[in-house]
Amino acid sequence: MSKKDIAWSDLGFGYIKTDKRYVSNFKDGKWDDGTLTDDDMIIMSECAGVLQYAQTVFEGLKAYETKDGKIVTFRPDLNADRMIDSAKRLEMPPFPKGRFIDAVKQVVDANRDYVPPYGSGATLYIRPYMFGINPVIGVKPADDYQFRIFATPVGPYFKGGAKPITVKISDFDRAAPKGTGNIKAGLNYAMSLHAIVTAHNEGFAENIYLDSATRTKIEETGGANIIFVDADGNIVIPKSDSILPSITRRSLAIVAEKYLGLKVDQREVTLSEVMSGQFKECGLCGTAAVISPVGRINDHGKEFTFEAGMESMGKVTQKLYDTLTGIQMGTIEAPEGWIYEI
Ligand code: PLP
Ligand code: COI
């Protein structure tokens, strides 16, 4: 085995084609055995369900090289569970959990040379997804589906890595109270594209979406959950039924309590508490984002800058970051069942 000749530390969050991907097809009411393939192209009907009515769900997780040279993934069982929930909500046949985990392992193992070296700041991003593939013209679920996983080496999601970003309060809504905000459906991201382009054009790194019913409560960003640190140094996590149940955020809640001895309060968080300075630190957390510090929030021209400022992560955010990434990269002992060695 020899690593690919890639400038690992210069990688951003982009796509690089790797050697192997996994594919399994659902036809006549069942999933086939699935296989690894070299073929990165997908041929489908012009009328495929995914193309007409966006019947697609996905996942995101990472593989890491640890300090002692092992390759591991982080809690893939939770990605499998969440993809099952996503599939059910879009009337798709769930891909079985055991097979999901096995397929993740196969893809990582077949692309070991693309797993960025320990300490490079890059990781191997793994993207499982599935979609309706047979022709669908009346609005109804497809009959046939394809499940795939590819992997691609990535660097930080936000330019500048750990440097705090400025985010805006979006004028657009991401999720309705009884909509699909709590699953990982492509449609949630399609409808966020105009909002993110708008935010970028205005010079912001991301959008914070509010609850669409009252537009007073903090939900999440387009691709990450949000955490706050209060004046006592404890963690406050916005609670909502219309945000994605982030695996990073759920893990951080455990890390904060069990490793750092912090209190974790999961409750509704209002925009007005945030803008009136109730919190000292703010971070965006997710597989791609890891924990990206938010330095400043802009609500229609009114700005709030967190105590840690725009130069570096706040102290508590940094501790959370170091502990979580230490667990993922094998320098800190993980809770039972979090790390899957390839
Ligand atoms: N929220 C949204 C909208 C996301 O797309 C993601 C990314 O997966 C997250 C939160 C973070 O979830 P996780 O930590 O499971 O990656
Ligand atoms: C992830 O963190 O895995 C995501 O899916 C977020 C996406 C916006 C890249």
Domains of the chain, by residue range, sit at 8-156, 165-327
Res. 255: pLDDT tops 70: yes
**Residue 229: both structure tokens together:** 């640190």
**Average of pLDDT values for 147-173?**
94
Give pLDDT, residue 161. 75
Nearest atom, ligand 1, residue 251 CA: 14
Residue identifier of the C-alpha nearest atom 5 of ligand 1? 223
CATH number for region 165-327: 3.20.10.10
User: Which pairs with CB-CB distance under 8 Å and at least 24 residues apart come from 26-33?
Assistant: 26/93, 26/144, 26/145, 26/146, 26/147, 27/144, 31/93, 31/95, 31/96, 31/99, 31/147
What's the CA-to-centroid distance between 184 and ligand 2, angstroms? 9
Q: DSSP secondary structure string, 261-295?
A: ---EEEE--BHHHHHTT-EEEEEEEETTTEEEEEE
Banded model confidence at residue 1, pLDDT cuts 50, 70, 90: low
Please tell me the distance from the alpha carbon of residue 144 to that of residue 131, in angstroms, as a whole number. Answer: 9
Sign, CA torsion 253/184/163/277: negative
Q: What pLDDT digit, counting tens, does each position of 234-246 carry?
A: 999 999 999 999 9
Please tell me the distance from the alpha carbon of residue 140 to that of residue 110, in angstroms, as a whole number. Answer: 36
Ligand 1 pocket member 317 (CB < 6 A): no
- Percentage of the chain beyond pLDDT 90 is 98
Whether CATH 3.90.79.10 fits 8-156: no
What's the CA-to-centroid distance between 209 and ligand 1, angstroms? 14
311, exposed or middle or buried, with CB in 10 Å at 0-12, 13-18, 19+?
Answer: exposed
What pTM, to 2 d.p., does this model score?
A: 0.97
Ligand 1 pocket member 286 (CB < 6 A): yes
Ligand at minimal distance from the CA of 225 is: 1
Mean of all residue pLDDT scores within the chain: 97
Is 184 annotated in the active site? yes
Res. 10: pLDDT tops 90: yes
Number of C-alpha atoms within 13 angstroms, CB side, residue 131? 25
Choose the weakest-confidence range: 98-107, 158-167, 317-326.
158-167
Give pLDDT, residue 160. 76
Angle at which helices 315-328 and 247-254 cross, to 10°:
110
**Average of pLDDT values for 279-305?**
97
Nearest to 82 by CA among 103, 63, 61, 62: 61
**Average of pLDDT values for 299-304?**
97
Give pLDDT, residue 77. 98
- Percentage of the chain beyond pLDDT 70 is 100
Banded model confidence at residue 159, pLDDT cuts 50, 70, 90: confident
Q: Which residues contact 95 (CB under 8 A, 6 or more apart)?
A: 24, 31, 80, 83, 84, 87, 128, 130, 147
Give pLDDT, residue 318. 96
Residue identifier of the C-alpha nearest atom 5 of ligand 2? 60
Q: What pLDDT digit, counting tens, does each position of 24-46 carry?
A: 999 999 999 999 999 999 999 99
Q: What pLDDT digit, counting tens, does each position of 64-123 carry?
A: 999 999 999 999 999 999 999 999 999 999 999 999 999 999 999 999 999 999 999 999
**Average of pLDDT values for 272-287?**
97
What's the CA-to-centroid distance between 2 and ligand 1, angstroms? 32
Which residue type sits at 219?
Answer: E
